[in-house]
Amino acid sequence: MNQEIDKQNFVVMVVDDDPTILTSLTLLISSLGYRTLSAKDGINALELLNSQICDLIITDVVMPRMDGLELLHHVREEYPTTGVIIATGYSSRASYAEVIRAGAIDFIKKPIEHAELEAKLTRALREQQMLRELEKQSLCDELTGLLNRRAFDKRFPREVERAARQHYPLYLAILDVDRFKNYNDTFGHQAGDKVLAAVGDILHLCTRNNVDTCFRYGGDEFAVILPQTSISQAIKVIERILQRFRKMGFGDTDISIGMAPCARDNALPLSEDMAQLIDRADKAMYRAKAKGIGWVINNP
């Protein structure tokens, strides 16, 4: 498949504890047209990944604090859409088979040759582009353009665990369109689809790009994951959503929103803990709907 790569939309991170290699390899990759990041070891790389989008990592194996194989493990667990190429010296004991079994997408020997690096980058990023497109199609709701329930089920546990590790607050909001069935029955399915599509647009407008994540949870229900957000910031987001929807004037429809903080309870199995966190937001949403007050926060 001859698919053109838009190099400027792909970010490659170089990880190496040797400052000379780090600088020269970063400059080489930049000269090939890719956007680059650099990190001096695995810990530094994970810090960057927490705030930067990265498509591909080229990492040395032997480094202080966190080596390349440890970094690979964390990336596979926390950033599964980011590919990793392991770079090793000829004396390294890490073999091609070992790093591929560990989850790397490729392996390159040091000293790195220009032509080999360029070929491996081209192949790796073409594969990443194709995989992301396939993943996007499988996880996207066609009507609203939001992520779907399958995507939520994959993303939510990862976000809760990451928030627990990095000690920042995380909120989950569950939204339901009130009286949607009556509106759909009265005005027809096409009109109902316009309501749902409008909610999708509103969620995109009222949340932070590349930080918050919005989902069509099912039917006329939606969900928003709000990481690194204070309670006052989360309230502002859901109030903006309500105001924008009410200005749309879709008959007597409205939105009810339930929100809950999501702190991991390590005493519970992950699946049970996730179910309880979702249930808190869901119950808050039903209380908001019953009282007709727009939104409710369910604090534990």
163 close to 147: Cβ distance less than 8 angstroms: no
Pairing of strands 213-218, 221-227: antiparallel
Q: CA-to-CA distance for 149 and 134, rounded, in angstroms?
A: 16
- E-state strands within the chain: 11-15, 35-39, 56-60, 83-88, 106-109, 170-178, 213-218, 221-227, 254-261, 295-297
CA dist list (Å): 150 to 9, 75, 136: 26, 21, 11
17 is catalytic: no
Q: CA-to-CA distance for 50 and 54, rounded, in angstroms?
A: 10
231 close to 171: Cβ distance less than 8 angstroms: yes
Cross-strand bridge partners of residue 87? 60, 108
| Sign of the four-CA dihedral 51, 52, 54, 59 | negative
Q: CA-to-CA distance for 72 and 77, rounded, in angstroms?
A: 9
Q: DSSP of 76-110, one letter per residue?
A: HHH-TTSEEEEEE-TT-S--HHHHHHTT-SEEEES
Residue 251's φ and ψ, nearest 5 degrees, are 55, -135
| Sign of the four-CA dihedral 207, 199, 202, 253 | negative
Choice among 41, 220, 273, 282 that is catalytic:
220
Select from 291, 292, 225 the least CA-distant residue to 262. Answer: 225
Rounded to the nearest 5 degrees, what angle is found at the Cα of 133, between the Cα atoms of 128 and 135? 90
Residues annotated catalytic, as ranges: 220
